C-alpha cells in the first residue's frame, strides 16, 4: 500500500475522521449531559459549563437504578448461557452430522430471527400472567433464550464448519463416542466461536426494550433500559435529564468495553452468522 499518494492519504484520513466523529457525537453528548449540574443542563453546549458527579452518585445509590442493573446483568447472563449451550448443540448437529430435516431447522431459525417481536407481546403477556411468569426473571429469560437461539445457531454453525473434521474422526478412532468427541475435542476448539456468540447474544438481551417494558411491572425484574423511563425529576414537570444520561452512560460502558476487547470477534461473528449463513 506504499503506492498511496499524499492526496489519497489525506482523503482516507478525512473519511476516517468523519466516521469517528459521527459515531461518537451522540455518545459524547450523553456523557456531557450526565456530568452537567441541573443548572447547566439548559446550556446546549457539548462542553459542560458546570461539572458534577452528582448524577452518577444519585443513580448508583438509588434502588430504582441499581436493582434493574442487577436484573439486566443476571437475566442477560442466564439467557446467554442457556442460549449458547442449546445453540451449540444444534449448531454442532448442523455442521457435523447428516440428518433429515436439517434445512427445516435452519429455515425455522431464520423464521424466528425475522419474527416481529410485537406479535409475540400480546399473547405472551396473557400466557405469562396465567403461568405466574409475569414480572419475574424467567418471564424475560424464556423469550430471550428463544430469540438468542437463531443468532446462536447461525453464528456457531458457521464457526463449527471451520473446525478440522479429522480431529474428531481421530478421536472416534481412538474409541471416543460421538458425545465424547463433542465435549472433549470439538468443544475446546469451538471456544472462540462460542465466546463471540455469547457476546452477540448478551448484547441482544442487554439491548432489549420492548419485552422488558411489556413483561415487567416493578423493579424486582425490570431491566435497566426499561427502568430509565421511570426516573423522577426534581418535580413532575422536569425531565430527569441528568440521571437518565448518567444511567445511559452506565449501561453503555460495558458495551464499549466489550467492543474494545472483542472488536475482531464481533466483526467475525456478525459477518459469519449473517453472510456465511
Partner 1 sequence: MSTTVPATGATTTPAHAKPKRARAQLSEGAKADRRLAFWLCAPAVLVMIAVTGYPLIYAVILSLERYNLELPQDTKFIGFANYGAVLTSQYWWQALWVTLIITAISVGITFVLGMLLAEVLHRTVFFRGGVRTISLIPYGIVTVAAAYSWQFAWTPNEGYLSAAFNNGAPLTNQVEAIAVIIVAEIWKTTPFMGLLLLAGLSLVPDDLLRAARVDGATPWQAFTRITLPLMKPAILVALLFRTLDSFRIFDNIFILTSGNNGTASVSTLGYDNLFNALNLGIGSTIAILIFICVAIIAVIFILGFGTAAPGSDAGKR
Residues 196-235 binding partner 1 (CB under 8 A) are: 203, 206-207, 209-210, 214, 224-226, 228-229
- Check residue 102 for interaction with partner 1 (CB under 8 A): yes
Other CB atoms within 10 Å distance of the CB of residue 149: 22
CA distance 114 to 99: 25
Site string for partner 1, 28-67 (x = CB under 8 A): -xx--x-------xxxxxx---------------------
- What the block records as the C-alpha cell of 187 is 468443544
- Our CB check for partner 1 shows the closer of 67 and 161 to be 161
Q: Grid coordinates standing for 2? A: 506504499
Indicate whether 183 belongs to the interface with partner 1 (CB under 8 A).
no
Among 73, 77, 78, 121, binds partner 1 (CB under 8 A): 121
CB of 91 to partner 1, least distance (A): 9
Q: Which CB, 30 or 189, lies closer to partner 1?
A: 30
Task: Choose the stretch contacting partner 1; rule: CB under 8 A; options: 49-57, 62-70, 85-93, 184-192.
Answer: 85-93
Interaction between residue 139 and partner 1 (CB under 8 A): no
Residue 153 or 198 with smaller CB distance to partner 1: 153
Amino acid at each position: 500500500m506504499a503506492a498511496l499518494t499524499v492526496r489519497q492519504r489525506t482523503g482516507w484520513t478525512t473519511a476516517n475522521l468523519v466516521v469517528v466523529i459521527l459515531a461518537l457525537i451522540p455518545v459524547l453528548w450523553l456523557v456531557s449531559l450526565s456530568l452537567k449540574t441541573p443548572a447547566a443542563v439548559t446550556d446546549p453546549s457539548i462542553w459542560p459549563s458546570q461539572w458534577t458527579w452528582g448524577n452518577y452518585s444519585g443513580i448508583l445509590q438509588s434502588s430504582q437504578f441499581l436493582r434493574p442493573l442487577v436484573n439486566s446483568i443476571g437475566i442477560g447472563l442466564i439467557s446467554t448461557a442457556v442460549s449458547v449451550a442449546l445453540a451449540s448443540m444444534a449448531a454442532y448437529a448442523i455442521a457435523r452430522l447428516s440428518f433429515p430435516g436439517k434445512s427445516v431447522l435452519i429455515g425455522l431459525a431464520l423464521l424466528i430471527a425475522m419474527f416481529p417481536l410485537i406479535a409475540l407481546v400480546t399473547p405472551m403477556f396473557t400466557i405469562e400472567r396465567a403461568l405466574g411468569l409475569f414480572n419475574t426473571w424467567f418471564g424475560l429469560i424464556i423469550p430471550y433464550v428463544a430469540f438468542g437461539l437463531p443468532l446462536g445457531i447461525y453464528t456457531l454453525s458457521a464457526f463449527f464448519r471451520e473446525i478440522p473434521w479429522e480431529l474428531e474422526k481421530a478421536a472416534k478412532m481412538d474409541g471416543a463416542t460421538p458425545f465424547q468427541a463433542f465435549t472433549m475435542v470439538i468443544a475446546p476448539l469451538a471456544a472462540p466461536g462460542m465466546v463471540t456468540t455469547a457476546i452477540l447474544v448478551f448484547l441482544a438481551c442487554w439491548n432489549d426494550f420492548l419485552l422488558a417494558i411489556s413483561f415487567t411491572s416493578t423493579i424486582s425484574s425490570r431491566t435497566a433500559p426499561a427502568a430509565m423511563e421511570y426516573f423522577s425529576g426534581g418535580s413532575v414537570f422536569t425531565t430527569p435529564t441528568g440521571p437518565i444520561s448518567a444511567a445511559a452512560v452506565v449501561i453503555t460502558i460495558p458495551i464499549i468495553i466489550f467492543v474494545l476487547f472483542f472488536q475482531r470477534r464481533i466483526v467475525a461473528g456478525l459477518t459469519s452468522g449473517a453472510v456465511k449463513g
